């Protein structure tokens, strides 16, 4: 069954009418439907499916054992996300199993297709939550303390999803089974368009982190408070957001984004008492990202003082620059000689796993060059071609 056909089966799940894209936060009704879809497709292929203590779904061809080959990606999305970020890698893995079966491949080691929860961090704020729990990069206690924007705790949400929140955390047994990990993902930039190629091999992931900026001011009445009497945290925060962009623009290859900005209490005729906004900062060199964030903190302090407000900047998550396994990457480029080697500015579970098992990535051309948006897409031919390329890669590892 082709990738296109597989993705067509889920194209209505989690549609977000307002954005025209998708919103599939972890353990939402949409993501639970996607989990059911994946489990049904995996079982249809005779794979043995289990969901582990951290909510990762493993679909096994062969006994779960050390040194297995693992592929897969995620099914959750950002708000207003596209149809391919995550699901393409999962659907391609399912099609790769079909291709290997059609070729009569008898694996000499086990293969698992894995689906990692909360890769986007859209619900609880920490990207790659599932792979961080699996590897211990995120403690179970910290995870349990997280809440979503409606105040639901991760513990309650995971319990509602059928997991025991007291059982979250590093899973050496599951981790020990990963001999090699390969994630196929839609490209989230223009590399393959500019090179005119359908597939790339990944080299590295830019280090990236998320910082919460909380600005406190004086809530008051919009009509009875003279401008000279205000400590308006929205005005201060707006200047800070401008400073974030200005500072990032001064550093080659740096990226800093404010995509979430929340005044409280949020009334039209109310001067806010506080504003929270989040900075996503990235750069190929981790020390440069850190230096940029320091400059942002200094600018925020200066602006807050000038506006009669106070400000606090707290790091919420950090992923150092991840380099994929050189030997595995070389193997992929030898198998796929036409595929260029590209770094990516987007985070992936493969970036977390790279520290624990030889990991690599394949990227599929995205003619829009846009991602985290409904405009993201892959041509059917490129999607199917990359699933066959994934099958070629897996066959080499399974023989």
Helix (H, G, I), strand (E, B) or coil at 36: helix
Each residue 84-123 as x (binds Mn ion by CB under 5 A) or -, in order, gives: -xx--------------------------------x----
At closest approach, how far in Å is the CB of 99 from ligand HGY? 27
Nearer to ligand HGY by C-beta: 118 or 274?
118
At closest approach, how far in Å is the CB of 85 from Mn ion? 4
Pair type for strands 207-216 and 310-319:
antiparallel
Q: Residue 127 touches which of Mn ion, ligand HGY, none (CB < 5 to 8 A by kind)?
A: ligand HGY
At closest approach, how far in Å is the CB of 214 from Mn ion? 25
Q: Is 280 in the site for Mn ion (CB under 5 A)?
A: no
At closest approach, how far in Å is the CB of 120 from ligand HGY? 5
- Cβ atoms < 10 Å from Cβ of 120: 22
Window 116 to 175, contacts with Mn ion (CB under 5 A): 119
Q: Which has the closest alpha carbon to 391: 126, 182, 120?
A: 182
Annotated binding site for Zn(2+): 74, 85, 120, 185, 372
Annotated binding site for allantoate: 210, 269, 282
By Cβ distance, which residue is nearest to Mn ion?
Answer: 348
Annotated binding site: 74, 85, 120, 185, 210, 269, 282, 372
Q: Residue 384 touches which of ligand HGY, Mn ion, none (CB < 5 to 8 A by kind)?
A: none
Q: Residue 86 touches which of Mn ion, ligand HGY, none (CB < 5 to 8 A by kind)?
A: Mn ion
Nearer to ligand HGY by C-beta: 205 or 299?
205
At closest approach, how far in Å is the CB of 363 from Mn ion? 11
Nearer to Mn ion by C-beta: 24 or 348?
348
Nearer to ligand HGY by C-beta: 127 or 146?
127
d(CA 68, CA 86): 22
Q: Which residues pair with 179 in a beta bridge?
A: none
How would you class 356 by CB atoms within 10 Å of its CB: exposed for 0-12, middle for 13-18, buried for 19 or more? middle
d(CA 295, CA 306): 17
How would you class 263 by CB atoms within 10 Å of its CB: exposed for 0-12, middle for 13-18, buried for 19 or more? buried
* Binding interface with ligand HGY (CB under 6 A): 119-120, 127, 346-347
At closest approach, how far in Å is the CB of 351 from Mn ion? 8
Query: Which residues 6+ apart lie within 8 Å of 152 measured at CB?
Result: none
Q: How far is CA 226 from CA 107, 229, 271, in A?
A: 75, 5, 11
Nearer to ligand HGY by C-beta: 186 or 311?
186
d(CA 261, CA 358): 38
d(CA 357, CA 195): 30
At closest approach, how far in Å is the CB of 134 from Mn ion? 14
Helix (H, G, I), strand (E, B) or coil at 157: helix
Query: Which residues 6+ apart lie within 8 Å of 141 measured at CB?
Result: none
Nearer to Mn ion by C-beta: 38 or 232?
38
Pair type for strands 199-205 and 322-323:
antiparallel
Nearer to ligand HGY by C-beta: 56 or 272?
56
d(CA 27, CA 249): 37
Window 57 to 86, contacts with Mn ion (CB under 5 A): 85-86
Q: Residue 171 touches which of Mn ion, ligand HGY, none (CB < 5 to 8 A by kind)?
A: none
Q: Which residues bind Mn ion (CB under 5 A)?
A: 85-86, 119, 348-349
């Amino acid at each position: 069954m082709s990738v296109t056909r597989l993705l067509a089966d889920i194209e209505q799940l989690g549609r977000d009418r307002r954005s025209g894209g998708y919103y599939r936060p972890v353990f939402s009704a949409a993501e639970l439907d996607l989990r059911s879809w994946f489990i049904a497709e995996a079982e249809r292929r005779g794979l043995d499916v289990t969901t582990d203590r951290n909510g990762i779904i493993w679909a096994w061809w062969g006994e779960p054992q050390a040194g297995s080959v693992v592929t897969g990606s995620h099914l959750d999305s950002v708000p207003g996300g596209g149809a391919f970020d995550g699901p393409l890698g999962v659907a391609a893995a399912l099609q790769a199993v079909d291709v290997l079966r059609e070729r009569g491949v008898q694996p000499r080691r086990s293969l698992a297709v894995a689906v990692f929860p909360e890769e986007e961090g859209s619900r609880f704020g920490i990207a790659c939550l599932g792979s961080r729990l699996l590897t211990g990069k995120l403690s179970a206690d910290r995870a349990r303390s997280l809440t979503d924007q409606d105040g639901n705790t991760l513990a309650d949400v995971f319990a509602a999803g059928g997991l025991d929140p007291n059982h979250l955390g590093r899973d050496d047994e599951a981790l020990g089974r990963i001999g090699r990990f390969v994630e196929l993902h839609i490209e989230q930039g223009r590399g393959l368009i500019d090179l005119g190629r359908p597939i790339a091999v990944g080299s590295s992931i830019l280090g990236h982190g998320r910082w919460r900026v909380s600005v406190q001011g004086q809530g008051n009445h919009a009509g009875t408070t003279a401008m000279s009497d205000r400590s308006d945290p929205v005005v201060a925060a707006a200047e800070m957001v401008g400073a974030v962009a200005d500072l990032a623009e001064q550093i080659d290859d740096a990226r800093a984004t404010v995509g979430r900005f929340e005044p409280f209490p949020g009334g039209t005729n109310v001067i806010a008492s506080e504003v929270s906004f989040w900075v996503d900062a990235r750069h190929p060199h981790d020390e440069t990202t850190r230096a940029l964030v320091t400059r942002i903190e200094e600018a925020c302090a200066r602006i807050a003082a000038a506006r009669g407000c106070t400000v606090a900047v707290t790091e919420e998550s950090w992923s150092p620059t991840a380099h994929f396994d050189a030997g595995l990457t070389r193997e992929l480029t030898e198998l796929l000689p036409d595929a260029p080697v590209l770094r990516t500015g987007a985070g992936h579970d493969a970036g977390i796993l790279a520290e624990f098992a030889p990991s690599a990535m394949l990227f599929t051309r995205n003619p829009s060059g846009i991602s985290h948006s409904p405009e993201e897409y892959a041509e059917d031919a490129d999607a199917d071609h990359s699933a066959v390329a994934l099958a070629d890669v897996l066959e080499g590892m399974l023989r």
